[in-house]
Amino acid sequence: MPQQNDFSEAKAICNEIGGAVLEVLGRKRALSVQSLIDIIEEARAGNFIYTVERKQRMERAVYILKKFIQP
């Protein structure tokens, strides 16, 4: 079932971005693509222990978000 796995991964990446949106709004920061990237990168650099899969999802989320700000 490759489609199911692809869907699950896409959903997980969306959840990472959605979580970043909530964090930005919770901190009362301006909502922008860069602020979402900053939040995800702060989480990756923090003292948290993430699974390999979660780290990969965070990296992919940042990669996708950067597509919106690169020329």
Q: Which residues contact 65 (CB under 8 A, 6 or more apart)?
A: 17, 33, 36, 37, 40
One pLDDT digit (tens) per residue for the chain, 71 residues: 456 677 898 999 999 999 999 999 999 999 999 999 999 999 999 888 999 999 999 999 999 999 999 87
How many C-beta atoms surround the C-beta of residue 64 within 10 A?
15
Q: What pTM value is reported for the model?
A: 0.86
